[in-house]
Every structure is written in C-alpha cells, then in structure tokens.
Structure 1
Amino acid sequence: MTLKKYKFNYYLNVNINKPLIIFLHGFMGNINEFDEAIKFLAEDFSYLTLDLPGHGKTQVLGGDEYYRIEPTAQAIINLLDELKIDKCYLIGYSMGGRLALYLTLHFPERFIKVVLESASPGLATEADRLERVRRDAQIARKLSRSIIKTDFAAFLSNWYSQPIFGSIKNHPEFERLLENRLQNHLTELTKSLQFMGTGNQPSLWEKFKDNTTPLLLVAGENDEKFRDINTEMANICKIAQLKVISNTAHNIHFENAGEFVQNIREFFQKQ
C-alpha cells in the first residue's frame, strides 16, 4: 500500500471478532520476524505485520529523512487509518520497540496495551546520542562494504557475537534466522541504521514518565544491558510492569517463543 512517501509491504490477517495486534520487528528483521510467536496467537487474535522502512520489501519513496522514527510513526498511523483499525494491541522488538514506544507516547488513543521487548526510550544525554551516532556510522560503513552475500554473512556472525545476544548462535534455528536477515538490502539497512538508530532518535525518557498506556516490558535474563534499562523504566513509570524471561538474551521471541507468548496472553487478558 502506498501512503504518500512510503509503499508498505504488510500482511493483515483478520480473525473475525478477535482483537488485533500489530507487530514491529527489530533492526535487520522483516515481516516474518514474529512468525513463531504468531503461531501461538493466531487463533485468538487478528494481526498486522509489516516491513519497516529500510527492511524487506517496503519502499521509501521520499528522501532519507523518511527513514527517521517520527515520519515512520506517522506513516504507521496513516496505515492503520487506511485499514480502518481504530485501536489495537502493539508489540515491538528492539528497534521496533523504540518505534512502538514512540507511537505509544504520541498516539496513546490508538493502543490498548503495549509490549516492549528489549527496547528503550533512547539515550538521555546529547553526549551519549552523539557517541552512538559515531558508532552507528562505523557499523554503517562496515555494512556498506559488504559487497557480496558472504561479506554480509560474516557481518551478521560478528553482529550476533555481541554480549546482548547471549548464546543465540547456539540456537538450533540460528541458521534460519541468518537466512532471514540475508534477505534485506544493504543500502536500505544502512539508511535505517543511520536515520532510525538509537543515536538519531529523540530521547523519550521525560515523556515516558507520564505514559498512561499499560505497558509490559520484557527483557532477557542474560541481556544485562537491557535488563538494567527496563528495570529503570519500570521504576519511573507506574503503569509499566517488567518481566524478565529466564535463559534468554536480547531476542526473546526467537529464543523462547512459548514463554514470550504466555506473558503476552496474561498481560492482554488481565483486566
């Protein structure tokens, strides 16, 4: 669907009289990111999945500024309007979690409850944001030098060696995850990193304190960085609750889809 500066690749599954969840994937993910979790939820929910700008088959028809979080969020609201979706549940992972939080804080009337998996409100200080922009630029340069598929595969292997991902490379389905990531276009990924990376995102910490939408913060036991961030988030927002999932790191829905979904169900069904 073409919406002004975007041509979104999306999939809408309507389960009559069942509430709808929109899923937002993380960096290097795509429309299939939550397939395993959706298998557990499909009988009881409708769902909307999409490729975010810079990922999969979604096309950005405007300039580079349309990869940023602010116009992307507005475009998603426009997509919901076009699909006649007034209110829904929202789940976002990592980069998609940051986008989900932005949507929650700026369009609270559109979301019933929100799940943020391994996400954050961004970086609090200008110095931290500038340092992150510098680091992301380095990563973008590495990505841009990945001329052939084997180069990109080597980049991914290094990427998933980061401490936040724990032992994900030992997961029996890790090769499938890599193949999924390899479907992306490097030029587009680079733009996403440059313009929707954490360093370029406006800090949401102050606005987060006044959030009025019920939030479930999900962090992995073995992802110390985001476990700490989400603990701080839960401490400053009374309507946010934190769930730490054992034996997982950053990519919880991939490492333990069953427990991830169980917590989602309990949160969505709780009155």
Structure 2
Amino acid sequence: MNFVIDGIRYFVETCGKGHPLLVLHGFTGDHSTWTPFYKQWAQHSTLYALDIVGHGKTDSPADVEDYQILRAAEDLHRFLEQNQIEKTDVLGYSMGGRLALTFAIQYPEKVRRLILESASPGLETAEERHERVQKDEQLALFIRNEGIEAFVEYWENIPLFASQKLLSTEKQRELRRQRLTNLPHGLANSLLGMGTGSQPSWWEQLGKLPNSTLLITGSIDKKFCMIAEQMRAKMKNAKWITVENCGHAIHVEKPEKFGTIVSEFLSNL
C-alpha cells in the first residue's frame, strides 16, 4: 500500500493479525529486509514494513530537508494517525533504529514496546557530530559522482559488515541485488539528512523513555555492544541481549535466533 504526506509517497507492506508492529530497515535497505520474518511475526502482530524516504519504493525527493530524522518521525506519526493506529510496537535496525528511537522520544504515547537492533542515540558532542557530518558529506558526494554500483561495492566491504562475508554466496548476492535497487540521490540525501552526525543526540532523553525496550547487538560488533551497554544504564525499562558469533546485522546473520528473540519479547506481556 502507499500513503502520501506533504507530497512524498511512502510505500508500506502489511500482513498479519494482532497488535501493530512498525518495522524500519537500515541504510541501503528496504521493506524486504523483514520478509523472512513475516510468517513468524504475523502470528502475533500486524506488521507495517515501511520503506524509509530515499529507499526502496518510497519517493526520493531532491530536497534534503525531506530526509531530516525529525521530519521522518513526524511522517510516521501521521501514518499512524491516517490509519487510526492508537499505539504500536516499533522495531528498527541501525538507521531505522535511530529513527525508531527518535519516534519513541517524540511520541512516547504512541509506542507500546520498542526494539532497537544495533542502534545508537547519536553522538554526544558537537565536535563528534561535526566530524561525522563531514564524513557523510564526502560519502554522499562519492555516491553522486561514482554511482550506485561503485558505492555498494564500497559499502559491502566496510569493517562493520566484515562478518557478512561468512554468509552464503547466494545470500550475499541477494543483499547486493536489494541494495542496487536504491537511487543514488536517495541514498546521498539520506546520509545528509538522517546521518548519525545530523540527527539530534538523544543520550540525555533516554532516562525519560517510559516504553519497555529491547536492545539487540551481535557479539562481534564491539562498538554497538558498548553503545547498548551505555544505553541500558541510562534507561528505566530496558533489556539488552547479545547474540553470539554475530556482527551488526543480526537479522541477516542469525535470522532464526533474531526472529525468536523478537517474538518472545512482544509476546511476553
């Protein structure tokens, strides 16, 4: 299905019966990130798998302002309002996790349970944010100048995804095929508008979150394990699970384990 907010056409795939579950993919991903889990999660939830602006079948507007994370969170709120959804569970991976957290902080009354996979509240200091913005600007320029194929080749080989080299050849090809469906200017603008450096820092807001929250990280992903540990210490009602022998994308590397963790968290009320 499609919905339009301020001229931007969003794509969302829905299935299942039960309490609403909004699922948000990572940078370069799309709604198909969650397809392997539809059958399992649809038993207890009504899934809404949305393509974030600049990704998949959702529009990729020219104006970077349309990609700001606060604007994206507001659009999620308006989607829920349009569909008369009073309260939803929200699951987000990496970039989608930052958006999920932003949404929960801006609209806590709309969130029942929050699941953050390899996600961050942003950078704490202005210096860190400035440095990251510069790096994201350089990468956005690379995408625009070199094209989607060159960027995907680069992206697949960054250290964050090193453990994905252990996946089957077919699975790696499947990930590449999906990434290549994105538009260069959509990904570039996403980096500029929704990158870790450009978003607000939510560290000081974590203690105010009333929602029951699950943090999931992979044991190989030391950076995000450290972030999750620091987040849990600041949050009132958070649980942290680390999946052994797994990197940044737990849902890709250990899908059966990941699917079960999510189902158990959402079903254990």
> Under TM normalisation by the shorter chain, which class is it?
over 0.9
CA contact under 8 A between 2:10 and 2:58: conserved in structure 1? yes
Matched, 1:214 2:202: no
Residue 198 of structure 1: SS of its match in structure 2?
A: coil
Partner residue in 1 for 2:243: 245
CA contact (8 A) 1:7 1:60 kept: no
Is residue 104 of structure 2 the alignment partner of residue 141 of structure 1?
no
Q: Deviations over 1:9-55 (max 9, x none)?
A: 1112252xx11211001100112111112232122321001111111
Summarize the alignment of residues 172-251 of structure 1 with structure 2, pairs less than 5 Å apart: 172=168, 173-251=171-249
Q: Which amino acid is the alignment partner of residue 255 of structure 2?
A: A
- Partner of 1:120, secondary structure, is coil
Runs of 4+ displaced beyond 6 Å: none
Which amino acid is the alignment partner of residue 72 of structure 2? T
Answering whether residue 165 of structure 2 is matched by residue 169 of structure 1, we say: yes
For 1:268, the aligned partner's letter is L
- How many pairs align? 265
Report how far residue 106 of structure 1 moved.
Answer: 1.1
1:189, 1:214 → 2: CA distance? 31
After TM superposition, the score normalised by the length of structure 2 is 0.94
Instruction: Report the 3-state secondary structure (helix = DSSP H, G, I; strand = E; otherwise coil) of the residue aligned with 1:122.
Output: coil
Q: Gaps (5+ residues) in structure 1? A: none
- Secondary structure of the residue that 2:128 maps to in structure 1? helix
Once the 2 structures are TM-superposed, how far is the Cα of residue 155 of structure 1 from its aligned partner? Answer: 2.6
The equivalences for 1:67-78 within 5 A come to 67-78=67-78
**1:161 to partner: Cα distance:** 2.2
Alignment match of 1:8 (pick from 7, 10, 13): 10
CA contact (8 A) 1:219 1:245 kept: yes
Distance 1:100 1:76 in 2: 9
Please, what is the CA RMSD of the aligned residues?
1.5
Match of 1:88 in 2: 88
Unmatched 5+ stretches in structure 2:
none
- Residue in structure 2 matched with residue 25 of structure 1 by the alignment: 25
Counterpart code for 1:216: L
User: Which AA in structure 1 matches 2:90?
Assistant: L
- Secondary structure of 2:215's counterpart equals strand
AA at the equivalent of 1:36: P
Conserved? CA contact 1:117–1:217, under 8 Å: yes
Tell me the percent identity: 34
> Residue type matched to 1:165 in 2?
F
Alignment partner of 2:32: what SS?
A: coil
Q: Cα distance, 1:61 vs. partner?
A: 5.7
Q: Partner letter of residue 76 of structure 1?
A: L
In the TM superposition, what is the alpha-carbon distance from 1:175 to its structure 2 partner? 0.8
Could you tell me whether the CA contact under 8 Å between 1:5 and 1:61 is conserved in 2?
A: no
Counterpart of 1:183 in structure 2: which amino acid? Answer: T
